Structure 1
Amino acid sequence: MAESPQIAVMTVQEAWRRLRRRLRVGPLHRLRFVGVAPDRLAVIPPTLQHGDPFIAEAIYAGRFHLAGRLVEAVRGSIFQAEPPSEEFAAELHGFAWLRHHAAAGDALAGKNARALVSDWLRLSSGRVSGPAFEPEVAARRLISWLKHADLLLGSADYEFYRRCLKSLTSQSRYLRSVAQEAPAGMPRLMVRMAIALASLCLPMPAGRTRAAVQALADELDRQILADGGHASRNPAALAAILAELLPIRETLIGQGQPVPKGIYSAIDRMLPALRFFRHADGTLAQFNGTGPSDMQLMAALMRFDETLGEPLSHARHSGYHRLTAGGSVVIADTGCPPPVALSREAHAGTLAFEFSSGMARIVVNCGAPPPGQPALRRLSRSTAAHSTVTLADRSSSRFAGQPHLDRFLGSPLVPGPSAVRVDGIATDSPGRPIGFQATHDGYEREFGIRHSRRLELSTDGERLFGEDRLDVTRRPRGRSEPETAALRFHLHPQVSVETLGETVRLSLRGQVWRFAADQAVSVEDSILFADHSGSRRTLQLVVTVDPLLTPHVTWVFERLS
């Protein structure tokens, strides 16, 4: 297959990266991780993420619900239990759950948090290997311990205090050693943020602090695009990065240290980009790995956004379009998949869109499920899980490898659309709809067909018109012609559906909309993966045609009341 050389190259590169990291933490190199530890922290950084005291109570009772799995540590330490999945182990050793103890804020929560950290120091810190010392996991743990140092160290005895500071120092040295060998994308950026934060909190020479902060700025320059999006094209990545980056900037300012231009610039680009991906209800559009939105975090991040006015209509570098009129919002994926090395969580959703009106989401994508559900994760990445067109039940991007390779490579997208052409629609005349037309070649290699989609939103936001074209460019090579094309419109679970003849009536939050197409419409089952309560059943509107006999379909969402 055409993607085999790319997979072979990626496999060799990943194996070489892992070997280099292993060499950096060998017996001789581990001596670099030990040394004199400071007797105090220079500063405790702020945190923008809040927890749930009830989860802290469950953890105190020995119930750890992480990555979609529940483990009860009724006897012995949770760090002695066999983790049910790699994702569970990563979340356990990442210690982000300390925020729940901080939210509880009482002496019992602090005592339990110190006991769990003490267990980790006793049981997991000796071997610099395994899931606890994956670079991203170690970075998240270091950040969490520093942010919740008040909780851990405020009432700690001297022995625990010294052990904790010694471990913080050792972990920061470990991350400096493996930073270059961290996987590309978010893991490497998280490592750089952890090193920068540690250099500010643990007393270090000024030169080392400046170098750590500048290295972070340089990595931001590489990963944050000119329009503020992340190179992975995942909208949720922006919230995750800003949640750690803003406290670093505030700590720099609080200590009277200069903030590198790269950090200021990245934040100034990312905050408007985050607003670009938000619906009116505050949730993020569900593209390329975005799951349920943390509404408290989103509100905290938006307080730092000092820009005014509407977001851009076209995030050209990120590959997205946004239409806004009369309280309605359309957000569409009009870009190629991210670079192969950054596509481990990317979705095959080219030309998919989401549509909301006021506080009501109408058309959505299925979104990403919580970690630890590989079968659902693979399903959620398919084109059929997005509000776009599928040909012969195939995805517009191919998923590399087999399930047994997922743990090694993460199932990147190869190949996918290599070109997406986007044309705006002139809006010179008053009252003329706003919109765009985009074309991608994701199905051309296999079926010799290009998919074009045109979206137009009326100026009052009460009518969304769409047109999908399937243009044959050549005869398919070695495969039969596609017999079916399906236009899918996944609906939010709050939407009630009623079929009235050839049209469909949609009711939600006091609004009534009509959907109609120039071809037959069916109502089928669907599922929303991205929900805090777990996967939820919902419905989808489907228009199925023979692409060779009916290459052109028009449809419309129109508000009735």
Structure 2
Amino acid sequence: MALKTVGEQGRIMRLLGHHLWQTSLRWLHGGPLFRLQPFAGTPSRLLIAPQDLRTADQTNAMDIYGGRFLFSGQVVEARGRSPFELKGEDDGWQRELHSFGWLRDLRAAESKVARQNARALVDDWIKHCGRWHDIGWEQPVVARRVLSWLAQSPLVLEEGDAEFYRRFLRSLGRQVRFLRRTINEAPDGVPRLQAALAVAAASVSMAGQGRFVRQSMRRLEYELQRQILPDGGHVSRNPRAILDILTDLLPIRQAFVTQGLETPAGMMQAIDRMMPMVRFFRHADGAFAHFNGMGSTPTDLVATILAYDDARGAPPGNAPHAGYQRLSGGETVVLMDTGVPPPVHLSEAAHAGCLSLELSSGRHRIVVNCGVSSRASDGWRQVARSTAAHSTAGIEDSSSCRFLADKPFGRWLGAPVVAGPTSVPVERIEDAMGTRVTASHNGYAARFHVLHERDIRLASDGSVLDGLDLFTSSGALSEQDHFTLRFHLHPLVKPELLRGGSGAELVCPDGETWEFDASGGELALEESVYLSDVYGHRRTQQLVIYGRISQASQIAWQFRRTVLARPQRRFRTDEDGLYPPLDD
């Protein structure tokens, strides 16, 4: 991507300077100097093991016992060696290995062999990587490992001898000191907050940490106040961030209660703000909307988190700080992205999906964004972040945001958003007829002198969603004025064009049927790909409207439910092979 504006160049230079500063501090605090430090201040014992809310898979325990390690979509055979001695494996695989989240799978096996295997693998790590490992001592990896070791300490320590117990505590204490020392150099956002969570969990779980408890809680409250927005969203605008934070934060709150300690007010306030947002992003089938890096939904984890919600109220409709709107009527839900991109240093996973929407009816998701797979290649991740992968409008096959290219800085800085919408005014009206949301963005103003506005209204009974997309010239309109309006369909929805291509029928697995109509452009039914399926990428289809702004500056469209259920009419589902998986 060529840098075309002084503003973009300035943002990248500031980001590069910040990256170099953090790299130098990490080298000083976590590199050779740290490796030479003595093992001082080892905790005498563990007082409590915070609960692990994540779901375990006990079938994975047998693979690990057999030396087969399936992480990050890759299987590695240890062949009698310690996995921590292996060289040249995929970085993602190594991060998952060194994070030790798989200990929960061994614990779920509830066998003596699993306990012995867990203890042996932890001892192997202490032996081979306890001093240093380039990936194993990455700050986010250390934070995840500390949380895993604390939560699974009953598994690891049961039946272990006194010498192993001392080695375990000595290594754990060293890792916690590393986190305390390097927390300011951790990548901003969820990684830094998880480091604060790990330090807080260790302070309340290990003996002899009294002088650190107050310090660690102050830092945790500071990060929560800084990163959790007033409406409960996260500054990265990624819905998954809320789940990741709550999954680690709720056990720490419970640990305070168990220890008879006063729960910090800042922690309670952050939890109270985030809980409604868990409900906000959910469709009726339990899946989260696919915005800004959200992939497949861990529904079992969401259910566990919601069990801690004492209020159990209805989700809010408006999240102005996070930049989202929720419209509901009857059993129909519409979620819409109405926010600007997050700050550049938090935008590594942000998408160019401004004004995109998702539509669900009951347990059927109908219109979706493509989402993202955590196991996808870099190429697929780039596709997933583009405007074309979202149910919104694009100009000249370009995205409303500009991402940092691979060269010359992408190797160090990744692919953050360096330009995008800077203004997204929103108006929301609720009355007896339904809910109306009007929003616009200027993401295409600098390049094409076009403002995109989307006006949607959901009927109070949820049977009709009316929409209007308008393209307004903010300057001299160029010849590059082609627009594309996309509505990506969920793989379980079967579409068919009607009336010579002026409309479409959308049939759900149980026969519930919706019709789509549009005026002002050329409607087509094209292939698409659903990236957030737990089984891999899935083929699906999309409704696409083509046009030119100079010929039609607005497109009116409507989704209308015509049949609630038609059991006698059925068709093959995903599992029957209607939409076979795609290769990555």
Relative to the length of structure 2, the TM-score reads 0.92
Pairing 1:30-41 to 2, within 5 Å after superposition: 30=35, 32=37, 34-41=39-46
Task: For residue 122 of structure 1, give the secondary structure of its aligned residue in structure 2.
Answer: helix
Q: Distance in 1 between matches of 2:238 and 2:115?
A: 35
Q: Give the counterpart of 2:290 among 279, 286, 289.
A: 286
Aligned partner of 1:530 in structure 2 is 532
Aligned partner of 1:12 in structure 2 is 17
Task: For residue 201 of structure 2, give the secondary structure of its aligned residue in structure 1.
Answer: helix
Tell me if the contact between 2:44 and 2:207 (Cα under 8 Å) persists in the aligned partners. Answer: no
Pairing 1:244-323 to 2, within 5 Å after superposition: 244-323=248-327
Q: Distance in 2 between matches of 1:506 and 1:84?
A: 45
Asked if 1:195 is matched to 2:199, the reply is yes
Shift of 1:369: 1.2
Q: Give the counterpart of 1:24 among 12, 25, 29.
A: 29
The number of aligned residues is: 554
Shift of 1:549: 1.1
Q: Deviations over 1:483-536 (max 9, x none)?
A: 421111111111111222222111113211111111332111111111211111
Q: Distance in 1 between matches of 2:209 and 2:198?
A: 17
What amino acid does structure 2 have at the position aligned with 1:301?
I
Shift of 1:83: 4.6
Tell me if the contact between 1:495 and 1:506 (Cα under 8 Å) persists in the aligned partners. Answer: yes
Task: For residue 521 of structure 1, give the secondary structure of its aligned residue in structure 2.
Answer: strand
Aligned partner of 1:122 in structure 2 is 127
Task: For residue 425 of structure 1, give the secondary structure of its aligned residue in structure 2.
Answer: strand
When residues 227 and 83 of structure 1 are mapped into structure 2, their CA distance, relative to the original with a 3 A threshold, is farther
Shift of 1:126: 2.0
Q: Give the counterpart of 1:520 among 500, 516, 522.
A: 522
Tell me if the contact between 2:276 and 2:313 (Cα under 8 Å) persists in the aligned partners. Answer: no
Shift of 1:37: 2.0
When residues 32 and 209 of structure 1 are mapped into structure 2, their CA distance, relative to the original with a 3 A threshold, is farther
Aligned partner of 1:492 in structure 2 is 490
When residues 396 and 143 of structure 1 are mapped into structure 2, their CA distance, relative to the original with a 3 A threshold, is same
Q: Distance in 2 between matches of 1:543 and 1:82?
A: 50
Q: Distance in 2 between matches of 1:79 and 1:404?
A: 33
Q: Deviations over 1:411-447 (max 9, x none)?
A: 11011100001012352xx3x1212000000000100
Pairing 1:46-61 to 2, within 5 Å after superposition: 46-61=51-66
Q: Distance in 1 between matches of 2:530 and 2:262?
A: 45
When residues 387 and 200 of structure 1 are mapped into structure 2, their CA distance, relative to the original with a 3 A threshold, is same
Task: For residue 17 of structure 2, give the secondary structure of its aligned residue in structure 1.
Answer: helix
Aligned partner of 2:47 in structure 1 is 42
Pairing 1:476-491 to 2, within 5 Å after superposition: 481-491=479-489
Aligned partner of 1:557 in structure 2 is 559
Pairing 1:28-107 to 2, within 5 Å after superposition: 28-30=33-35, 32=37, 34-107=39-112
Tell me if the contact between 1:83 and 1:89 (Cα under 8 Å) persists in the aligned partners. Answer: no
Larger deviation, residues 264-273 vs 44-53: 44-53
What amino acid does structure 2 have at the position aligned with 1:97?
W
Larger deviation, residues 325-334 vs 99-108: 99-108
Aligned partner of 2:169 in structure 1 is 165
When residues 83 and 114 of structure 1 are mapped into structure 2, their CA distance, relative to the original with a 3 A threshold, is farther
Tell me if the contact between 1:79 and 1:123 (Cα under 8 Å) persists in the aligned partners. Answer: yes
What amino acid does structure 2 have at the position aligned with 1:99?
R
Pairing 1:98-497 to 2, within 5 Å after superposition: 98-127=103-132, 129-371=133-375, 373-402=377-406, 405-427=409-431, 430=432, 432-475=433-476, 481-497=479-495
Tell me if the contact between 2:344 and 2:417 (Cα under 8 Å) persists in the aligned partners. Answer: yes
What amino acid does structure 2 have at the position aligned with 1:552?
Q
Task: For residue 349 of structure 2, give the secondary structure of its aligned residue in structure 1.
Answer: coil
Tell me if the contact between 2:448 and 2:481 (Cα under 8 Å) persists in the aligned partners. Answer: no
Task: For residue 420 of structure 1, give the secondary structure of its aligned residue in structure 2.
Answer: coil
Task: For residue 229 of structure 2, give the secondary structure of its aligned residue in structure 1.
Answer: coil
What amino acid does structure 2 have at the position aligned with 1:495?
V
Aligned partner of 1:509 in structure 2 is 509
Task: For residue 249 of structure 1, give the secondary structure of its aligned residue in structure 2.
Answer: helix
Q: Distance in 2 between matches of 1:384 and 1:26?
A: 42
Question: Please, which runs of 5 or more residues in structure 1 have no aligned partner?
Answer: none
What amino acid does structure 1 have at the position aligned with 2:466?
F
Task: For residue 336 of structure 2, give the secondary structure of its aligned residue in structure 1.
Answer: strand
Tell me if the contact between 1:69 and 1:372 (Cα under 8 Å) persists in the aligned partners. Answer: no
Pairing 1:529-548 to 2, within 5 Å after superposition: 529-548=531-550
Larger deviation, residues 332-341 vs 58-67: 58-67
What amino acid does structure 2 have at the position aligned with 1:123?
H
What amino acid does structure 2 have at the position aligned with 1:49?
R
When residues 33 and 285 of structure 1 are mapped into structure 2, their CA distance, relative to the original with a 3 A threshold, is farther
Tell me if the contact between 2:329 and 2:434 (Cα under 8 Å) persists in the aligned partners. Answer: no
Task: For residue 514 of structure 1, give the secondary structure of its aligned residue in structure 2.
Answer: strand
**Residue identity (%):** 42
Q: Deviations over 1:359-410 (max 9, x none)?
A: 1111111111114621111111111111110111100000013267444212
Tell me if the contact between 1:142 and 1:194 (Cα under 8 Å) persists in the aligned partners. Answer: yes
Tell me if the contact between 2:368 and 2:490 (Cα under 8 Å) persists in the aligned partners. Answer: yes
Tell me if the contact between 1:482 and 1:547 (Cα under 8 Å) persists in the aligned partners. Answer: no
Q: Distance in 2 between matches of 1:155 and 1:481?
A: 75
Tell me if the contact between 1:447 and 1:481 (Cα under 8 Å) persists in the aligned partners. Answer: no
Q: Deviations over 1:304-350 (max 9, x none)?
A: 11224322111000000000110111010001001111101111100
Shift of 1:33: 6.0
Shift of 1:29: 4.4
Larger deviation, residues 151-160 vs 465-474: 151-160
When residues 330 and 411 of structure 1 are mapped into structure 2, their CA distance, relative to the original with a 3 A threshold, is same
Task: For residue 425 of structure 2, give the secondary structure of its aligned residue in structure 1.
Answer: strand
Larger deviation, residues 448-457 vs 467-476: 467-476
C-alpha RMSD of the superposition? 1.6
Larger deviation, residues 259-268 vs 157-166: 157-166
Q: Distance in 1 between matches of 2:139 and 2:69?
A: 23
What amino acid does structure 2 have at the position aligned with 1:513?
W
Aligned partner of 2:568 in structure 1 is none
Question: Please, which runs of 5 or more residues in structure 2 have no aligned partner?
Answer: 564-584
Larger deviation, residues 454-463 vs 371-380: 371-380
Shift of 1:28: 4.3
Q: Distance in 2 between matches of 1:202 and 1:153?
A: 14
When residues 499 and 33 of structure 1 are mapped into structure 2, their CA distance, relative to the original with a 3 A threshold, is farther
What amino acid does structure 2 have at the position aligned with 1:503?
G
When residues 407 and 305 of structure 1 are mapped into structure 2, their CA distance, relative to the original with a 3 A threshold, is farther
What amino acid does structure 2 have at the position aligned with 1:177?
R
Q: Distance in 1 between matches of 2:292 and 2:43?
A: 42
Q: Distance in 2 between matches of 1:67 and 1:547?
A: 44
